[in-house]
Structure 1
């Protein structure tokens, strides 16, 4: 159910926070992102947009959550952001969102995961760093890993599975 709620949402991470930031500012950032990545997104495609609350430090660059009108739009945007980063040496940065301060700050666009999904993705990325797995990604709220190009895709379902893969690798 948690995954279903988030199926049209993305997160934009590490975006420098502006003073007195408004929803219009956030919408404009997404429209700039869609323009630079050649994704057709209009204001009407954005159902909701907000910056998540941080713990206590209000200067922290907390993620921006964007709820889009459809999973097709979300998938398009994610695919085009990934493609942009592959094609350009100058990967996505704050300046691509129309920001002029801290413009070289790298930004990251990903699907919004549940707390459990985010934890599994974090652990799976550790698996990539420490063992013989080469790929780790998320799709439709699920976390996947793969040893190399020819090996089968493994769906990560729980933390115990990640620990088991660490022992076996």
Structure 2
């Protein structure tokens, strides 16, 4: 078949066929490059209308007398982008142009057009995309944060309620414990007062029970000893008459300190306190009358080296400990006199000073 433009034989497949008149044209005659031809789709090729038929159609519709070979004739509405027109010149060669009175369409011009269109569209698309993306991110973050905040809020409220309940319970328990403590403190004060009262009563009873006793210290021990005879001998030395009926009991008592090498004390229970006081006062007078030879073991008939013998009231263990500590404190602080009378301990610094009653350890600290 021959080309309608150049009348030469069409030997290649690069040709366009009009759907109206079935005329065939070389792509070169239509000024279409091979690359442009390859980019044309099959639908476009099937619906293509040659410039002559297209010009006739335009004249029929528009009733114009525009010559085919003098002006650019547009393709049908199904062309590439709606603006590509095609025409044939007087020499029989066609040209593909961009609209009326424009430069010929090339790949460079199409690229520039696409770049400009895409640049504007892409900038608008990116702006809209950023805005939408930011809004979506804000909504997503707000939604997630709201959910997390609500969860934390619920957990916090639950914890606060639990803590509040526990605090209320602890407060009630604390108030109850405070009441109990106050009650116990009051009871403790009352019990302490009662204990002090009972201790005083016990001390008085203990003192009363010892009011008839005399304790003789540092008397040498022997297996065959007769304690009553020894006591009578002592009474004869200090000039106090003593009968067997006056002595209710006479025995040695255990040591408070087992490591002590002193003999065990002799405890004598008399018939009445007045006799005990007589023996104590007579012993004191005897020792004052003979300061160079006070009462000792030789006066009671013991052979060998003599040792000092002491006659004292029968004190309780607590009172004995306090008496010992009083003697030590008096020695350190240079008090001249320490004595016991009726179960009470006294000290005096010198002959001109007054007597001080030692009731307890606190009294010693005030010396």
- Give me the TM-score of the superposition, normalised by structure 1: 0.86
Secondary structure at 2:295's aligned position in 1?
A: coil
| Match in the other structure for 2:209 | 5
Structure 1 contact 41–73 (Cα < 8 Å) conserved:
no
Q: What is the deviation of 1:152?
A: 2.5
Structure 1 residue aligned with 2:299, among 96, 103, 110? 96
| Match in the other structure for 2:177 | none
Q: Structure 2: which 5+ residue stretches go unaligned?
A: 1-204
Structure 1 contact 17–60 (Cα < 8 Å) conserved:
no
Structure 2 residue aligned with 1:68, among 267, 270, 284? 270
2:234 equivalent to 1:30: no
Equivalent runs, 1:123-142 vs 2, <5 Å: 123-142=325-344
Structure 1 contact 37–84 (Cα < 8 Å) conserved:
yes
Structure 2 residue aligned with 1:44, among 228, 245, 260? 245
Distance 1:49 1:103, change over 3 A: farther
Distance 1:99 1:45 in 2: 24
Distance 1:119 1:158 in 2: 10
Number of residues paired by the alignment?
161
Distance 1:90 1:148, change over 3 A: closer
Q: Deviations over 1:41-85 (max 9, x none)?
A: 21111111100124667x851100011111111111111111111
- With 117-126 and 59-68 compared, the bigger mean Cα shift is at 59-68
Q: What is the deviation of 1:9?
A: 0.8
- CA RMSD in angstroms comes to 2.0
Secondary structure at 1:110's aligned position in 2?
A: strand
| Match in the other structure for 2:324 | 122
Distance 2:271 2:298 in 1: 25
Higher helix share: 2
Q: What is the deviation of 1:98?
A: 2.9
Higher strand share: 1
2:286 equivalent to 1:84: yes
Higher RCO, 1 vs 2 (CA within 8 Å, ≥6 residues apart): 1
Q: Deviations over 1:113-141 (max 9, x none)?
A: 11111111111111221114221110011
